[in-house]
């Protein structure tokens, strides 16, 4: 069983930055991909950035590429999402998720089956 706890959300003005954190714990033996997703009211959840827990390769959505950076700190079992140059369209609930079994680093929603509770980001 894996537990995910997100933090770092909040309100920021357009052009500002935030860093989200996701602490992961539990039985991590079969976990090799972790990532960030976001959802706004009335829209489906979309993949933002995923990374192998070893940090060797990541997959970042075109919509945020160049502005968002995903990284991991395995010593702390923590996933980060550095978000720069935020705009109001980035306002959403951001979720951390892991694949429940080992697999490829993908943004495909259905590949992820363990989710955190989410952290809200509001850009005005």
3-state helix/strand/coil string of 43-86: CCCEEEEEEECCCCCEEECCCCCCCEEEEEECCCCEEEEEECCC
Provide mean pLDDT across the span 18-25: 97
Please say if the pLDDT value at position 39 is more than 90: yes
Tokens read off for 107:
């943004």
Q: Above pLDDT 70, what percent of the chain? A: 100
Tens-place pLDDT, residues 54-98: 877 889 999 999 999 999 998 999 999 999 999 999 999 999 999
Which pLDDT score, from 0 to 100, does residue 4 have? Answer: 97
């Amino acid at each position: 069983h894996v537990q995910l706890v997100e933090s770092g959300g909040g309100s920021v003005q357009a052009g500002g930055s935030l860093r989200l954190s996701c602490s992961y714990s539990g039985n991590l033996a079969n976990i090799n991909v972790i990532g960030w997703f976001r959802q706004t009211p009335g829209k489906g959840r979309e993949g933002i950035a995923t990374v192998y827990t070893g940090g060797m390769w990541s997959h970042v959505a075109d919509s945020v590429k160049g502005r968002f950076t995903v990284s991991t700190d395995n010593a702390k079992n923590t996933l980060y999402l550095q978000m720069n140059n935020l705009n109001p369209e980035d306002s959403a609930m951001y979720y951390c998720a892991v694949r429940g079994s080992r697999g490829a680093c993908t943004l495909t929603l259905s590949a992820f089956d363990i989710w955190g509770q989410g952290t809200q980001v509001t850009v005005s």
